[in-house]
């Protein structure tokens, strides 16, 4: 997948950002797409949103090494725009393979794009977050993306409530 050119994002990225964490993770986090810092480092969630995710994990008694973290789209969209449907479609088979390989008990989708892509829904994240969903026989908890929480810190308590359900 390292030289993937399945969509136009392959021409503009610095690094492919596949995912990282425990191959035996019981908990998987799926974001939307790499940002600028992720593209530069080739690792998911290493920018400000990643720092917030790390803080959340720590408060839950988890480490990054305990979970698996990835994105729906593996290459950075220009100017951090939302991934386009054809870009999601090009990467979705790789995400499915990651899920099949890791076999998590729970997937936490972070944000609208990951939630709608994985669950094949058009429901807004504001309506579906905090409610258990299914991907095959895997439980899915949709919640807000950390970058959204950086812009709207008053919403953080909702993601904390969502994660409390995950940890039960």
Q: What is the pLDDT of residues 27-76, one digit of tens each?
A: 999 999 898 898 889 899 999 999 999 999 999 999 999 999 999 988 77
Q: What is the mean pLDDT of residues 125-142?
A: 98
What pLDDT, on the 0 to 100 scale, is given for residue 40?
A: 83
pLDDT above 60 for 23:
yes
Cα–Cα distance for residue pair 103/27, rounded to 1 Å:
9
- Percent pLDDT > 90 in the chain is 71
17-45-79 Cα angle (round to 5): 70
3-state SS assignment for residue 96: helix
What pLDDT, on the 0 to 100 scale, is given for residue 80?
A: 78
Span 49-62, pLDDT tens digits: 999 999 999 999 99
What pLDDT, on the 0 to 100 scale, is given for residue 3?
A: 66
Cα–Cα distance for residue pair 84/77, rounded to 1 Å:
9
Higher-pLDDT residue of 6 and 155 is 155
Q: Looking at domain 8-167, which of 3.40.630.30, 3.30.43.10, 3.40.470.10, 3.20.20.80 is its CATH number?
A: 3.40.470.10
What pLDDT, on the 0 to 100 scale, is given for residue 21?
A: 97
pLDDT above 90 for 127:
yes
100-104-110 Cα angle (round to 5): 100
Higher-pLDDT residue of 81 and 131 is 131
152-158 own/partner pairs: CB under 8 Å, 24+ apart: 158/129, 158/130
Considering only CA atoms, which of 94, 152, 89 is closest in space to residue 125?
152
């Amino acid at each position: 997948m390292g030289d993937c050119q399945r969509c136009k994002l392959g021409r503009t990225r610095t690094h492919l950002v596949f995912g990282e964490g425990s191959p035996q993770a019981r908990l998987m986090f799926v974001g939307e797409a790499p940002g600028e810092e992720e593209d530069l480092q080739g690792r998911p969630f290493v920018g400000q949103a990643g720092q917030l995710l790390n803080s959340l994990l720590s408060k839950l008694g988890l480490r990054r090494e305990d979970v698996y973290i990835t994105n729906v789209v593996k290459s950075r969209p220009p100017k951090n725009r939302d991934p386009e449907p054809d870009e999601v479609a090009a990467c979705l088979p790789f995400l499915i393979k990651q899920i099949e390989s890791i076999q998590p008990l729970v997937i936490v989708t972070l944000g609208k794009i990951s939630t709608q892509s994985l669950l094949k829904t058009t429901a807004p994240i504001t309506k579906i977050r905090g409610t258990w969903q299914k991907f095959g026989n895997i439980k899915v908890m949709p919640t807000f993306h950390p970058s959204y929480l950086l812009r709207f810190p008053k919403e953080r308590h909702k993601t904390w409530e969502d994660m409390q359900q995950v940890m039960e």
